Structure 1
Amino acid sequence: MRKLILVIVFGLAIGALFGQLMMSVPGYWLVRVGDTSYQTSFWFGLILLLAVFVVLYFALRLLSRFINPVSRFKTWNSRSRNRTAMRRTVRGLVALAEGRWKRAEKSLVKAADDSSTPLVNYLSAALAAHYQGRYEQADTLLKRAHLSTEGADTAVGLMQAQLMLDRQQYEEALAALTRLDQHLPNHPQVLKQLKQAYISVSDWDGLRRLMPRLAAQQLISREEREVLEFQAYRELILQESRLVDQHGIEKIRNLWADMPDHLRTNTDLIVLYTEILVHGNEQGIAERLLRHALKEHWDSRLILRYGMLDVDPKRQLAASEKWLQERPNDPDLLLTLGRLSLRNAYWDKAKEYFEASQQQRPSGVVCAELARLYANLGDHNKSQLFYRQSVELLDKSLPALPQPVPDVKTQAKQAS
């Protein structure tokens, strides 16, 4: 109500102002055509001209509709087809999400030509065809997607690589992704697919070189990176270990030098590298490696392997006896000390260390060492005793399996 009153008051004010203006500004229009003349007041003529202008404007618009009906029909038809294509595209994408591949492909392809986003239609249809196992049709749709939109190389290439990975066409996928990586370095999706391709084709060198790039883009967690780096370096070392020449050892040493710090403290890799160094007649390097690793972190596998090296037994024994001061009851260290004492021909000391190890933890291996030592010292009774203990301990470690029941008659015959 208040708004209506305000409008009426405003209208009256404008009318009064306009009336006052008409009275204060007199004038007239005179139009003469031949011998005929027309005269009217200035304000009436102005209103008349404005009315004529409005009539002409709407008349020209109405006339333009009748003059160009074909163009207007084409525009209307195009908009109508685009709306229909949009509805079909939505239905196709919904069917794709629901796993109805055939319906999705049909709707998306049918709507592609009239869609404002044909690239989306063809890519989604290619995915639907792929899920149906129609690989040739999927490739055809990818080609149509590439032709439908300018600048679609990246999207089509990524989709093509993903479909190749799903089909287990790993070599082809890696080749396609390598080309994409050259044109689009550090593209997140390219890097993620490259990781999958490298693992699939066992390209461990490519994978280890990819890890820093994945980490820089925050595309991989720390845990996953450590697992993949461990796998990559382990496989690379195993591959190179099949080479027995010095060149092979040199490659492995370079790999070890390039390895991240956290991997050089991994016990599995240290043991593997040690075995390769020993096989390549690099026991001196192996001894330094194990000695340094044992100072950093103690592990039973490392100390047992240290005792099997044949480098400088006196220096090894001295270093191990220093460790014994920190770990006086370590059975693996005591076993290693016994073996190093044997290498130094300290027979009595070897017996003491072996027996101390046996007291800390009964072991078939230690019993076997003692049995062999006593046999060579001429004490066959103790040798047989430790051999029996070794067999008994070994028997306890065997899995529980059904065994034949001894025949009493057979045993009696054997006894007689």
Structure 2
Amino acid sequence: MRMTYATWNWFSIRKQRRARRMTNEGIIKLIEGDWQSAEKKVTRWSNSHDMPLLCYLVAAEAAHEQGKNQKRDQYFELASKQEGSELAIGLTKGKQAMAEGDFATAFDVLSSLKHQYPENPRLLNLLKTCYIQLDCWQPLLDMLPVLKRVKGVDKAEYHKLSVQAHAGRISELANQQGVDGIVRYWDKLSKSFKSENVIIQTFATELINRGADNTAITVLKEATLKAPTAELLNVFPTLNITDWHSVLKHLKSLEKKFSDNGDLHSVIGQIYMLEGKWSDAQVYFETALKLRPDAHDYGQLASALHKQNYTNAANEVSQKALLLLSK
């Protein structure tokens, strides 16, 4: 008995509806973490689904979560036979690699899609994470304006990532090109980025690490004139110098304007410790601690007192440091 077109069409629609229902149930199971059921439901009726690509991608995700990598790759192979599947497959593969901490593989997969889909927000956001994890700072800087344009990041995140990337690029160039390389990079930075503490701190630290302490001093002095923050002040004691006169003169000039800055007093105390001027260091640490409690300063004060043979006082201060650390 021959099946009429109407009958065939009725069965076809019925199969398709069932396939959709099973796929929907499979997606719910995937969200719930029931990977095995998810895989079973989305593959059973995939041939009857009007969008088999969805079935194969859900199945690949479920297989991946079960550690069935060979099965996962089979689903990806089936998915690749569907028209317009490249981006969806690439995003899924990249996301899975990132979840396993394999950012190099994710980078390779996602980068291969970037030329064809240069403004896809999801792709760019995944690449952003890869760039950060792999310290690919220049590619991140190049991509950020596009990511901002497609609303993949807001203004605040754009600025934060730009600062992070510039600081990272400075460290990268320091290893590749030394002092000359980072000075050239610094000179090309905009005024706004040159006022960012993270970038200044990184630049000064890399200069110090490579013996350009005098240049670092100039940068730090200029940066701390208006805003002597802890991040910048704490770079001063790391300088590899023997004559601290000009540094102390600068810091003490700041002391007049920022007398309530405990970090400033602490750094002056640290420099006096480096010079072996224990009583001067003691005064500055005591002042710093009056302004705010700090375990490191208590430890430094205890050392200054020990150097002057004030053993009992040093022990009392050490106890305060331990008490603060235990909180």
Same fold (TM over 0.5): yes
Aligned to 1:193: 126
Local SS of the residue matching 1:281: coil
Deviation at 1:185, TM superposition (A): 0.5
Describe the shift of the 1:265–1:370 C-alpha distance in structure 2 as closer, same or farther (beyond 3 A).
farther
Describe the shift of the 1:163–1:335 C-alpha distance in structure 2 as closer, same or farther (beyond 3 A).
closer
Match of 1:157 among 90, 99, 120: 90
Describe the shift of the 1:352–1:174 C-alpha distance in structure 2 as closer, same or farther (beyond 3 A).
closer
Deviation at 1:217, TM superposition (A): 1.8
Deviation at 1:340, TM superposition (A): 8.1
Match of 2:209 among 253, 258, 279: 279
Q: What's the TM-score, normalizing by structure 2? A: 0.72
CA distance in 1, matches of 2:284, 2:139: 46
Of structures 1 and 2, the one scoring higher in RCO (CA 8 A, sep 6+) is 2
CA distance in 2, matches of 1:329, 1:162: 49
Local SS of the residue matching 1:396: helix
CA distance in 1, matches of 2:76, 2:116: 20
Q: Which runs of 5+ in 1 are unaligned?
A: 1-68, 373-382, 402-416
Q: For 1:358-377, list aligned pairs within 5 A.
A: 360-361=287-288, 365=300
Q: What one-letter code is carried by the residue in structure 2 that aligns with 1:192?
A: N
Q: For 1:114-263, list aligned pairs within 5 A.
A: 114-148=48-82, 150-225=83-158, 228-229=161-162, 231-233=164-166, 235-238=168-171, 243=175, 247-254=177-184, 256=186
Deviation at 1:262, TM superposition (A): 6.2
The aligned length equals 313
8 Å CA contact retained: 2:19, 2:45: yes
Q: What one-letter code is carried by the residue in structure 2 that aligns with 1:86?
A: R
Q: What one-letter code is carried by the residue in structure 2 that aligns with 1:127?
A: E
CA distance in 2, matches of 1:248, 1:399: 43
CA distance in 2, matches of 1:117, 1:270: 53
Deviation at 1:93, TM superposition (A): 1.9
8 Å CA contact retained: 1:95, 1:104: yes
8 Å CA contact retained: 1:119, 1:145: yes
8 Å CA contact retained: 1:85, 1:115: yes
Describe the shift of the 1:108–1:135 C-alpha distance in structure 2 as closer, same or farther (beyond 3 A).
same
Match of 2:45 among 78, 97, 111: 111
Q: Which runs of 5+ in 2 are unaligned?
A: 290-297
Q: What's the TM-score, normalizing by structure 1? A: 0.59
Q: What one-letter code is carried by the residue in structure 2 that aligns with 1:172?
A: T
1:289 aligns with 2:219: yes
1:88 aligns with 2:12: no
CA distance in 1, matches of 2:41, 2:238: 71
Aligned to 1:384: 309
Deviation string, structure 1 residues 248-272 (Cα, Å, up to 9, x no partner): 2334445555667666445455344
Q: What one-letter code is carried by the residue in structure 1 that aligns with 2:149?
A: A
Describe the shift of the 1:75–1:201 C-alpha distance in structure 2 as closer, same or farther (beyond 3 A).
farther
RMSD of the alignment, in Å?
Answer: 4.3
Deviation at 1:205, TM superposition (A): 4.4
Deviation at 1:277, TM superposition (A): 1.3
Local SS of the residue matching 1:284: helix
Deviation string, structure 1 residues 296-331 (Cα, Å, up to 9, x no partner): 312245446447754986654554453343235656
Q: Higher Cα Rg: structure 1 or 2?
A: 1
Q: What one-letter code is carried by the residue in structure 2 that aligns with 1:113?
A: N
